[in-house]
Amino acid sequence: MIVRTLNEILGTEREVDGETWISRRLVLADDNMGYSVHDTVIRAGTETHIHYKNHLETVYCIAGEGEVYTVADGRKWPIGPDTVYVLDQNDEHYLRAYEAADMRMVCVFRPALTGKEVHDADGVYPAPEETTT
Ligand code: 9YT
């Protein structure tokens, strides 16, 4: 069994700063679970363009308020505590955190991230070289 705390990964290479967000990667590809799990803070007052063409992501919001704008249908989805959104179509979107407070999200990626990824200019993470799923 693996046991890990947020506190012990803060300040290590498992903590990745994407400017508008900071991702604390609790479970990664080398744990061989087929998915990765991140505790991610979205900085208040920011907008992030995201298009995970190579990954599926589920995001559960536990704090803060914001919205997701999905490009394909032009819809705005309010996101706040106790709300999950599921990017089951590799949906291109804009994630906006309102000014009042940072958002805190639990993110699950399949296939798992290796831990080194940051978004490219199109909001994409590169495809994994190999996956366990
Ligand atoms: C919610 C979201 O997609 N934020 C961007 C960062 C990403 N989830 C990560 O790597 O933790």
Q: Where in the chain are the domains?
A: 16-115
16-115 topology per CATH: Jelly Rolls (2.60.120)
Q: Which residues line ligand 1 (CB under 6 A)?
A: 18, 21, 23, 38, 40, 50, 57, 59, 95, 105, 107
- Can you tell me the mean pLDDT for 32-36? 96
Q: What is the pLDDT of residue 63?
A: 98
Probe residue for ligand 1, chosen from 38, 46, 67 as the CB with the greatest number of ligand atoms within 8 Å: 38
d(CA 119, CA 33) in angstroms, rounded, equals 23
How far, in Å, from the CA of 128 to the mean position of ligand 1? 16
Separation in Å, CA 107 to CA 36, 73, 74, 86: 8, 23, 23, 10
pLDDT in tens, 52-99: 999 999 999 999 999 999 999 999 999 999 999 999 999 999 999 999
For the whole model, what pTM was predicted?
A: 0.89
